[in-house]
Amino acid sequence: MAATSGAVVNGLGSAFLCGGTRSRSLLRAAGFRDKAGSGAGTRNLVVVAAAQPKKSWIPAVKGGGNFIDPEWLDGSLPGDYGFDPLGLGKDPAFLKWYREAELIHGRWAMAAVVGIFVGQAWSGIPWFEAGADPGAIAPFSFGSLLGTQLILMGWVESKRWVDFFNPDSQSVEWATPWSRTAENFANATGDQGYPGGKFFDPLCLAGTIKDGVYIPDVEKLERLKLAEIKHARIAMLAMLTFYFEAGQGKTPLGALGL
C-alpha cells in the first residue's frame, strides 16, 4: 500500500486555499464544508494528501517506459518496485495469481533454506544425497513417501486452489467436531494469502486476541508483508544457487568452508 503524506491547512485566508468561490466549490465536492455559513468564517481542517512516488527497481534511471515503470504496477502490492520486464502482470487476474504463486514458492524456499543448513549441520549429509544415504532417517520407502506427499499435498493444494478463486469457501468443518476447523482455518485478515488468526499467527505477530477473537493489526501486518516478500525473494535466489552448487557436487556449508 502506498503511504500518504499530508499537509494540514488551517485558517489560511488566501483566496486560492479557502477564499475563492471556485476553491470552495472544489472543496465541497471533495467533502469539505465551511463550519459556519459563507464569508471568511472559521473553516474545517483541510488535509491535502499526496501519494508517495512509486519505487523503482532501477531508481537512478529515469524514463524507460513500461520496462522501468510499468503502468500496471501501482505500488500497492508489498514489495512492488515496478519489476515486470516481461509484462506478466498486465492482466489484473494474472497479477493476483502471480503474487499468490510468489508467496507460496517463497515460503517453501525459506523453509527449505533453513532445512538444508540445519539438516547438513546435524547429520553431515549433503542435502541432495540425504534421501539415498544409508545413514539417513527414512522410516518409509521412496514410493510410500511419494504417494503420501501426492495425496496429502494434493489435497491441501486443491483446497488452496479452490479458495483462491472462491475466497472463504474452504472455511468449513472438515475435521473432528472439536477441532473447530471453520474457525481456526478461516481468513482472519481478509487479505488473500495472509490468513492470520489463532492458528496461522499463534504468536500474534500481526494482531491481538481479545475475548478469544483474533483482531488483525493493519500496521503490523503491512510491515510483515513487506519483510516476508523480501525474505522470500532472497530465499528463492538462494535455492537457485544451491541447485547450481549441487550440480557441481557442492553444498552451501561447503561453499562457506564449514
pLDDT, mean over the chain = 76
**What are the tens digits of pLDDT across the range 59-85?**
777 666 778 888 888 888 999 988 998
Give the span between the Cα atoms of 146 and 152, in whole angstroms. Answer: 10
Which amino acid is located at 189 in the chain? T
Q: How many CA atoms lie within 13 A of 134 on its CB side?
A: 0
Give percent above pLDDT 90 in the chain: 22
Sorted by sequence, the CB contacts under 8 Å of residue 138 that are 6+ apart come out as 131, 145
Q: For residue 232, what is the enclosing H or E element?
A: helix 218-247
Q: What is the pLDDT of residues 19-70, one digit of tens each?
A: 444 444 443 444 444 444 444 444 555 444 445 667 777 877 766 677 888 8
How distant, in Å, are the alpha carbons of 60, 72, 81, 143, 235 from that of 56? 9, 13, 5, 47, 21
State whether the Cα torsion 178-179-181-186 is positive or negative.
Answer: positive
Whether the predicted pLDDT of 224 surpasses 90: yes
Residues 6+ apart with CB under 8 A from 40: 13, 19
Backbone angles phi, psi at 9, to 5 degrees: -115, 120
